[in-house]
């Protein structure tokens, strides 16, 4: 951590003090070095004179000194029963859903979008396919590969999707923030669903802004052609958020959710992409449960490590929500590591490998395995 941040944290001042000092300084074109000196109550002559660096220091002080390192007060679940009680008693659950909780196409898998682009050599960097300027210049390249990530006509859903539908049916879901664009969320009310990176549900004409459904553009996508507006013939852009566009998050709504929520579930995501990665920090004192193949940086009441579908099946079974056709996970086969971390057995092509790092901690990673070895 930056030494300046440590010094600011030791000073008995509020984050509001830090913020007002910095933003008033920006408005008045103050000397950033003088602001730093005032904030830290000491001489900072040893710092460089580069104003960009100094303002970055001030921003970091405002953020780190006031928010990120505040004490965390949340319950720790030391057994599976306490995890079940958390979910059972919660009535305003916020969920963050990533690719690991879905069955939609993975951009990075062999034969997927990025792999197909790399093999053809369409772009030096396959990620450029989601660059807005590139798309506006020539949408045909994106649409030539779009079939690799387009929703199936008769889509499959994961057990995690049905688990979230169960939360909705029981009036427990406050908000679902999904990072997926696959439009596979099932049974979630529109007012509770936020597709952070957009989705395929609605595409729009770049000429007249008319909205088009998945089925409106399916034939063109399957042929690798640019879909055309049924009203004016203009080229269509998918509802996916491209680089250069704002994500679908409302700061005011997110702050309200953080205040109201009584439980946070993080399912199938590494939380590496902002701004979704900031949500757990906003809810740092709210009970939280991680459901993922591998550990994620952060503080959780419990970490349930394994295939997301296996984990939610076990949860629904303990809650009495599961159907007779649902695969069952024997609770006795769940292995507890450290204080609040639980490893689930897996029958998939992936398994969770545990590597001890200290006496009280460990690293859990997702690794491919030979499924025959699990039989």
CA–CA distance, 41 with 308 (Å, rounded to integer): 50
232 belongs to an annotated ligand binding site? yes
Of 67, 65, 68, 71, the C-alpha closest to 5 is 65
Among residues 161, 197, 212, 299, the one annotated as catalytic is 197
Strands 203-205 and 236-237: antiparallel
User: What tokens does 95 get?
Assistant: 């969920």
Q: Where are the alpha helices (DSSP H) in 139-234?
A: 140-145, 159-169, 214-223
Is 161 in the active site?
no
Q: Cβ neighbours of residue 118 under 8 Å, at least 6 residues apart?
A: 126
Residue 213: C-alpha distances to residues 18, 161, 204 (Å): 47, 21, 9
CA dihedral of 184, 186, 192, 198, whole degrees rounded to 10: 10
Establish whether the linkage from the previous residue to 307 is cis, with ω within 30° of 0: no
CA dihedral sign, ordered 115, 116, 121, 123: negative
308 belongs to an annotated ligand binding site? no
Active site residues: 197
From the annotation, which residues make up the binding site for Zn(2+)?
A: 205, 208, 229, 232
Indicate the annotated binding residues: 205, 208, 229, 232
């Amino acid at each position: 951590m930056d030494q300046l941040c440590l010094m600011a944290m030791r000073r008995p001042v509020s984050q509001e003090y830090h913020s007002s000092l910095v933003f008033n300084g920006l408005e008045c074109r103050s000397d950033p070095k003088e602001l730093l000196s005032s904030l830290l109550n000491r001489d900072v002559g040893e710092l460089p004179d580069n104003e960009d660096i100094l303002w970055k220091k001030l921003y970091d002080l405002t953020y780190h000194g006031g928010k990120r390192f505040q004490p965390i007060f949340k319950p720790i679940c030391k057994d599976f029963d306490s995890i079940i009680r958390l979910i059972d008693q919660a009535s305003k659950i916020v969920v963050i859903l990533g690719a690991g909780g879905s069955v939609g196409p993975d951009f990075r898998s062999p034969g997927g979008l990025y792999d197909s682009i790399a093999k053809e050599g369409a772009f030096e960097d396959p990620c450029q396919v989601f660059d807005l300027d590139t798309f506006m210049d020539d949408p045909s390249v994106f649409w030539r590969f779009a079939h690799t990530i387009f929703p199936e006509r008769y889509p499959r859903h994961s057990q995690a999707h049905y688990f979230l539908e169960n939360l909705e049916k029981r009036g427990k879901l406050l908000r679902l923030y999904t990072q997926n664009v696959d439009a596979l969320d099932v049974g979630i009310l529109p007012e509770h669903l936020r597709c952070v990176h957009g989705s395929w549900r609605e595409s729009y004409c770049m000429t007249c802004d008319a909205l088009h459904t998945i089925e409106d553009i399916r034939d063109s996508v399957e042929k690798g052609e640019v879909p055309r507006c049924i009203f004016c013939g203009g080229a269509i852009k998918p509802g996916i958020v491209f680089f250069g566009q704002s994500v679908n998050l409302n700061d005011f709504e997110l702050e309200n959710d953080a205040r109201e929520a009584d439980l946070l579930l993080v399912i199938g995501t590494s939380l590496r992409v902002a701004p979704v990665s900031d949500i757990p920090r906003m809810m740092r004192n709210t009970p939280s449960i991680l459901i993922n193949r591998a550990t994620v940086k952060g503080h959780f009441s419990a970490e349930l490590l394994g295939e997301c579908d296996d984990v939610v099946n076990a949860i629904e079974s303990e809650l009495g929500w599961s159907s007779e056709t649902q695969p069952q996970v024997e609770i006795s086969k769940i292995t507890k590591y450290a204080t609040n971390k639980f490893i689930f057995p897996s029958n998939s092509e992936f398994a969770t490998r545990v590597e001890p790092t200290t006496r009280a901690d460990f690293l859990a990673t997702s690794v491919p395995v030979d499924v025959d070895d699990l039989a």
